[in-house]
Amino acid sequence: MQIAYQGEPGAFSEAAARQVFAEAGPVACKTFEDVFDAVEREQVACGVLPIENSIGGSIHRNFDLMLQHELVIVGEVELPVVHHLLALPGTTVDQIRRVYSHPQALAQCDRFLRTLSGVEIIATYDTAGSAKLVADGDMHDAAAIASARAAEVFGLTPIKSSIQDFEHNVTRFLVVSKPGRRAPSNAQADKTTIVFTLPNEPGALFKALSVFALRGIDLTKLESRPIPGRRWEYLFYVDLTARDQVACSRALAHLGEFATMLRVLGSYPSCKPADSGLAAPSPIERPA
C-alpha cells in the first residue's frame, strides 16, 4: 500500500504516514494539493495531511482543500513533534545567519528563534525540504529546523535539540481516501467531522450547536473559516463524538433542516495516543 504525504523524506508527515501503516510505501509530494491529486487519481491508497498543531494551531489550507475535493476522512494520527536546529557538520550556532523551515515549525519555535541575533528567518514549503536545501547548497552559514530523521537523511548535525516552545508539541494528521475505499483501521468509527453554513440571523449558531447538546454529543473542535467571495460569511468546521450513531444521525438530520449547506467530511476511529511517559503539562498561567 502507498500513502502520499507532503514534504521530503524525513518530514514529520512521512513519520505520520508510517504510523498509519508501518509497512506502507510513503510517497513524497511537493504540496498539499499534490497529495489530494494523488489520492483522487488513485495513484496511492490514501493521503496523510496535518490539520492541527497543539502550539501553532490549525493548518487552514487543508481545511479549505477538504471542501474543494471529494475525499473523505477515514482516520487520524497524533504525532509528537520534536524540532532540532540542523546544520552541516562543524557549523556552530554563532556562524548561523539564516534559518529555514516551514512556517508552522517556525511558529512552534518562536521563543528559541528570538534568542538568535542577526539571523534571517526564512519560511519554506517543508521542514525536511529545508534540511535538504542546507545540505545541497553546502550552506555553512545556515541551518534548518526539522526532525532528527531529516538530519540522518541529509547528513546534517543537530546543533540545538528540542527547541520547540513547549515540550508537549503534538500534530494531528488526517488520513483521507476516496469514498468507498477500505479504511486504514478496522476500529469502530467514533468521531465525525462536518462542515456547514448558516443563515445570517440571530441565534443561528446557538441553534446549530443545540442539536448536539440536546443529544449529549460532545464537540471536540469548532472552527470558522471565511467563505471565498462572500464577505463576512463563514463556514463552520466541527469535530464531534459519534459513539451513538443513532443520536449523531438524528442531530445531523436536525441540523440539515436549517443549515444552508451541510457536508459530512468523514466518520472514522479517533486516535488513541499511547502514554508517552511524559509528565502532565503544567496549568495555563492566568494573570492575578
The predicted-structure confidence for 235-249, as pLDDT tens digits, reads as follows: 999 999 988 889 999
Percentage of residues in the chain with pLDDT exceeding 70? 93
Q: Are residues 173 and 31 in the same domain?
A: yes
Q: How many CB atoms lie within 10 A of CB 27?
A: 18
Q: Are residues 46 and 173 in the same domain?
A: yes
Which residues span the domain enclosing 135? 84-161
Indicate whether 281 belongs to any domain. no
Average the pLDDT over 142-160 and give the result.
97
The domain that holds 21 is classified in CATH as: 3.40.190.10
178-187 core/surface letters (b: 16 or more CB in 10 A; e: else): beeeebbbee
Q: Are residues 15 and 153 in the same domain?
A: no
User: Among 12-16, 68-72, 97-101, 279-283, where is mean pLDDT lowest?
Assistant: 279-283
Please report which helix (H) or strand (E) contains residue 201, including its range.
none
Q: Are residues 38 and 173 in the same domain?
A: yes
Mean pLDDT of the residues in the chain: 91
pLDDT in tens, 169-217: 999 999 999 998 766 667 789 999 999 999 999 999 999 999 999 999 9
| Local confidence band at 273 (pLDDT 50, 70, 90 cut-offs) | low
Q: Are residues 153 and 129 in the same domain?
A: yes
Q: Compute the distance between CA of residue 48 and CA of residue 52 in angstroms, rounded to an integer.
A: 12
Average the pLDDT over 115-126 and give the result.
94
Q: Are residues 173 and 39 in the same domain?
A: yes
Q: Which of 124, 127, 171, 193 is catalytic?
A: 171
Q: How many CB atoms lie within 10 A of CB 1?
A: 12
For residue 78, give the C-alpha cell. 497524533
Residue 173 annotated in active site: yes
Please report which helix (H) or strand (E) contains residue 7, including its range.
none
User: Among 93-102, 114-123, 241-250, where is mean pLDDT lowest?
Assistant: 241-250
Report the chain's C-alpha Rg in angstroms.
21
Q: Compute the distance between CA of residue 4 and CA of residue 6 in angstroms, rounded to an integer.
A: 7
Q: How many residues does the chain have?
A: 288
Q: Which of 12, 32, 154, 173 is catalytic?
A: 173
Show contacts of 12-18: CB within 8 Å, 24+ apart: 12/50, 12/79, 12/81, 12/127, 12/147, 12/171, 13/48, 13/49, 13/50, 13/173, 14/128, 14/149, 15/79, 15/147, 15/149, 16/48, 16/50, 16/77, 16/79, 16/171, 16/173, 17/48
Residue 187 CA: distances (Å) to CA of 51, 89, 103, 240, 243: 21, 45, 34, 17, 12
Q: Are residues 33 and 148 in the same domain?
A: no
183: which residues sit within 8 A by CB, 6+ positions away? 74, 75, 177, 268, 269
Q: Compute the distance between CA of residue 101 and CA of residue 7 in angstroms, rounded to an integer.
A: 12
| Local confidence band at 276 (pLDDT 50, 70, 90 cut-offs) | very low
The C-alpha cell 528559541 sits at 112
- The SS3 assignment for 222 reads strand
Q: How many CB atoms lie within 10 A of CB 200?
A: 10
Indicate whether 74 belongs to any domain. yes
Indicate whether 279 belongs to any domain. no
Residue 171 annotated in active site: yes
For residue 204, give the C-alpha cell. 443561528
| Local confidence band at 55 (pLDDT 50, 70, 90 cut-offs) | confident
- The SS3 assignment for 130 reads helix
Indicate whether 288 belongs to any domain. no
Number of domains in the chain: 3
Please report which helix (H) or strand (E) contains residue 53, including its range.
strand 46-53
